[in-house]
């Protein structure tokens, strides 16, 4: 029953209106209601009659049956009652928003997966999409194939991991997986649960190349491996979140590899009560923790069983990561930050549980990105999604700052303001001294609104600040220069090996710099990369994806044609006119798509193009320069080279069927006849090209000649 004036006396007001056999069992003064209990013997019709009568009494706003709600997302899986983890990590609340998305791919790189298990099959990558996965353990290449099915029931480790991550949910079968992501299955461990570094590294690279968003590594050891380090770096640099087990040797043991690598999100183990599991390794590398004792999951024989260890905890984090990606569009680095930022503090130290226990409800329900503004300035901010105040980096937004919808404005006076948001930042304006941080990573203020990122990573020797090779050598560091067709800014000035140092610079829409091994220069920009030049070994990542630097320059190739000739040029990519070497491509020359035709009369024509030259045909004396080096035009033809320049009359009928003067007449002569008319043989002696005898030379004569040649 609700009362009209709830400030005080709710219980007293309600008690004045209820019958003697009823009583107030609970009152809420803040919300202005009381719960009334009737004896079990009271008939339902009496309760309904009471509600109808009491609603019209003075001071009573409403009366209703005290009904019940059920959890919206409690799945109907028969074994769900044996699973405590989904409730503990907030998955039930997250499921009210999303059960996951098949577009999100989680790779289980392990002992393989029994992908035909009835609680897994529908979430394993389909045959049409490339099949369930790959076996990297079998040494014979002929058997090293796309079948990651374990060889024996003892190889159930990967199947247990897969069940926690993505067993089918709410399907009246078995258990409920944390996320309905697509599973990629890589078999890299054998029946002894051991795997070679090379096999595991291959599995990580394979999963990355096949579109994994998250890679689960419930495996590890005490030995550092250059191959493994390279593999996890390969995945991380391509925007993949690599989740790895901290190890099961005990609280005094260090975090194992590959979890110990900075590219991995290392996961520690907790008990059901939130204590540190006695078997969980600890150390500064631990990023998150998750329940790891008495988990109920899938087995290779189609049944279900128990699972524990940091392997299980790692699977929990991977499953929650899949849920978060179904809700938010995040890179691997952003997802890692988001999972840590939304973790629940369980009272353990950072070396035991990292940021805390992973939480699905907060990961799905919390805005994932943070912008922190520090300095002395007034500012205005707008985003394309939702926006709210945050306390990231320990700053507090005071009452003088205002948030309305997707915009905010405020003032910082030596302190900082922070905001949580989704989508991209569309506007950031300020008029003072300011430093800005995206997800606690410092970026130049002018880069805040730029939506794209390019990373230039050195693969040779370290480059010193003076631009010399870091080893004192001469050729292992790489220099680069690139341009974009929008705004451009350095992302992380002053951040050690992940920045633009004194040898790098941005001017307008162009940047240049130098990188050695371990160096990463990062830029934000708008638009597209229109030019990229390099000298030395490096890798380029565009919006978290590895790209071939050669493909970033739309028109990197140059061709100059000179002499006295007509020509036809075709390339495999884009083609544009150029003014290189003082050349002028005039109106008598034509360009359509990837093909150009024209004539040079003692001067030169120049073009820029991408791809390769597929054909260069000409009549006359032609000299060609490809990227400044003279080439023989005859080597670029897809038909026999032209040997002469003057039209000939092979059959002696007074008409020049051999238009290009190569000693014969064939379809190439039709092409030559159809090329630029002004100054051509047709223009000089039109009567000689009147092949249909109508008194003039025109397009119909091309048809007549073609008929004759045919």
Name residues whose C-beta falls within 8 Å of residue 63's C-beta, 6 or more positions apart in sequence. 1, 2, 50, 51, 54, 55
* Assigned token pair, 198: 């090379």
How many Cα atoms occupy the beta-carbon half-sphere of 210 within 13 Å? 26
Cβ–Cβ < 8 Å for 577, 610: no
* Cα–Cα distance, 604 to 602 (Å, whole number): 7
State both tokens at 430.
């300020």
Residue 365 has φ and ψ, to the nearest 5°, of -95, 0
Determine the Cα–Cα distance for residues 218 and 205; give it in Å rounded to an integer.
Answer: 16
Residue 273 to residue 473: CA distance in whole angstroms: 57
487: left (phi over 0), alpha (psi -120 to 50) or beta: beta
Q: Is 179 a catalytic residue?
A: no
| 22 CB-near residues (< 8 Å, 6+ apart) | 36, 37, 38, 39, 42, 50
Other Cβ atoms within 10 Å of 64 Cβ, number? 10
Asked whether 228 and 263 are in contact (CB, 8 A), the reply is: no
Is-contact 293 313, C-beta < 8 A?
no
Residue positions counted in the chain: 710
Pair of tokens at residue 577: 């006119």
Question: Which two tokens mark 313?
Answer: 């905890």
SS3 sequence, 39-68?
A: CCCCCHHHHHHHHHHHCCCCCEEECCCCCC
Integer-rounded Cα radius of gyration of the chain: 36
311 is catalytic: yes
Q: Which of 17, 117, 157, 338 is catalytic?
A: 157
CA distance 669 to 661: 9
d(C-alpha 418, C-alpha 422), whole Å: 14
635, with CB counted inside 10 A (0-12, 13-18, 19+), is exposed
Structure tokens at 591: 């360009």
φ, ψ of residue 705 to 5 degrees: the values are -65, -40
- Ordered DSSP codes for 588-619: TSEEETTEEEEEEEEEEEEEEESS-EEEEEEE
Strands 369-383 and 387-390, sheet pairing: unpaired
Element holding 173 (H helix, E strand): none
For residue 257, the 8-state DSSP code is: B
β-pairing, 295-298 vs 286-291, is unpaired
Tell me how far CA of residue 437 lies from CA of 339, 444, 447, in angstroms: 18, 8, 10
Q: Residue 414 — left, alpha, or beta (φ > 0 → left; ψ -120 to 50 → alpha)?
A: left
157 catalytically annotated: yes
Closest alpha carbon to 269 in 280, 258, 284, 253: 280
- The C-alpha atoms of residue 353 and residue 281 are separated, in whole angstroms, by 10
Cα–Cα distance, 451 to 379 (Å, whole number): 20
Distances in Å between the alpha carbon of 196 and those of 200, 234, 549? 6, 18, 33
**Which residue of the set 225, 311, 390, 604 is catalytic?**
311
Q: Rounded to whole angstroms, how far apart are CA atoms 534 and 500?
A: 16
Angle between helices 310-327 and 157-166 (to 10 degrees): 30
Q: Whole-angstrom Cα distance, residue 296 to residue 174?
A: 10
Q: Are 320 and 164 spatial neighbours (Cβ–Cβ below 8 Å)?
A: no
Choosing from 17, 77, 110, 701, which is the catalytic residue?
A: 110
Q: Which residues are catalytic?
A: 110, 157, 311
């Amino acid at each position: 029953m609700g009362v009209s004036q709830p400030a005080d006396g709710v219980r007293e007001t309600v008690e004045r209106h209820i019958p003697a056999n009823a009583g107030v069992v609970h009152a809420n003064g803040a919300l202005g209601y009381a719960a009334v209990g009737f004896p079990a013997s009271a008939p339902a019709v009496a309760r309904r009659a009471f509600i109808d009568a009491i609603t019209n009494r003075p001071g009573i706003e409403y009366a209703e049956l005290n009904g019940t709600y059920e959890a919206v997302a409690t799945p109907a899986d028969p074994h769900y009652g044996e699973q405590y983890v989904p409730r503990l990590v907030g998955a039930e609340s997250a499921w009210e928003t999303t059960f996951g998305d098949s577009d999100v791919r989680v790779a289980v790189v392990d002992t393989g997966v029994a992908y035909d298990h009835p609680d897994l099959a529908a979430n394993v990558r389909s045959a049409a999409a490339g099949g369930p996965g790959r076996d990297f353990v079998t040494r014979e290449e002929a058997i090293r194939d796309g079948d990651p099915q374990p060889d024996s029931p003892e190889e159930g480790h990967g199947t247990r991991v897969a069940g926690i991550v993505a067993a089918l949910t709410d399907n009246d079968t078995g258990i409920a997986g944390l996320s309905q992501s697509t599973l990629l299955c890589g078999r890299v461990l054998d029946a002894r649960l051991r795997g070679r570094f090379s096999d595991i590294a291959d599995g990580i690279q394979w999963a990355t190349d096949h579109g994994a968003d998250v890679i689960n590594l419930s495996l590890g050891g005490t030995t550092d491996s250059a191959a493994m380090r390279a593999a996890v770096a390969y995945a991380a640099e391509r925007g993949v979140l690599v989740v790895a087990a901290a190890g099961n040797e005990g609280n005094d043991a260090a975090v194992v590899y590959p979890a110990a690598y900075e590219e991995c999100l290392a996961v520690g183990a907790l008990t059901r009560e939130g204590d540190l599991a006695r078997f969980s390794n600890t150390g500064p590398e631990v990023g998150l923790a998750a329940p790891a004792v008495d988990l109920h999951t899938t087995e290779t024989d189609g049944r279900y069983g128990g699972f524990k260890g940091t392997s299980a905890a790692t699977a929990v984090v991977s499953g929650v990561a899949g849920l978060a990606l179904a809700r938010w569009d995040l890179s691997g680095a952003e997802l890692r930050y988001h999972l840590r930022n939304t973790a629940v503090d369980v009272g353990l130290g950072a070396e035991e549980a990292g940021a805390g226990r992973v939480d699905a409800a907060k990961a799905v329900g919390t805005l994932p990105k943070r912008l922190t503004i520090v300095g002395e300035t007034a500012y205005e901010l707008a985003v394309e999604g939702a926006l709210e105040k945050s306390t990231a980096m320990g700053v507090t937004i005071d009452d003088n700052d205002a948030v309305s919808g997707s915009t905010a404005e405020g003032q910082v006076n030596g302190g900082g303001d922070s905001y949580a948001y989704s989508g991209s930042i569309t506007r950031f304006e300020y008029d003072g001294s300011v430093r800005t941080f995206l997800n606690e990573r410092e970026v130049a203020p002018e880069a805040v609104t730029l939506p794209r990122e390019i990373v230039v990573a050195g693969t040779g020797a370290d480059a010193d600040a003076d631009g010399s090779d870091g080893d004192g050598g001469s050729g292992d560091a790489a220099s680069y220069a690139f341009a974009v067709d929008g705004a451009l800014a350095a992302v992380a000035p002053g951040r050690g090996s992940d920045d633009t140092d004194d040898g790098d610079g941005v001017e307008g829409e162009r940047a240049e710099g130098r990188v050695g091994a371990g160096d990463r220069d990062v830029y934000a920009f708008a638009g597209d990369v229109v030019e990229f030049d390099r000298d030395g070994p490096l890798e380029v990542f565009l919006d978290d994806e590895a790209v071939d630097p050669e493909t970033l320059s739309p028109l990197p190739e140059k061709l100059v044609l000179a002499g006295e000739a007509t020509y036809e040029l075709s390339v495999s990519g884009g083609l544009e006119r150029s003014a290189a070497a003082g050349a002028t491509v005039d109106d008598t020359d034509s360009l359509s798509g990837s093909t150009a035709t024209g004539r040079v009369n003692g001067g030169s024509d120049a073009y820029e193009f991408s791809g390769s030259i597929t054909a260069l045909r000409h009549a006359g004396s032609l000299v060609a320069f490809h990227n400044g080096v003279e080439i023989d035009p005859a080597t670029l033809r897809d038909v026999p080279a032209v040997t002469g320049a003057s039209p000939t009359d092979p059959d002696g009928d007074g008409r020049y069927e051999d238009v290009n003067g190569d000693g014969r007449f064939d379809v190439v002569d039709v092409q030559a006849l159809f090329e630029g008319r002004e100054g051509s043989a047709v223009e000089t002696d039109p009567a000689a090209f009147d092949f249909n005898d109508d008194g003039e030379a025109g397009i119909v004569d091309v048809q007549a000649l073609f008929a004759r040649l045919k």
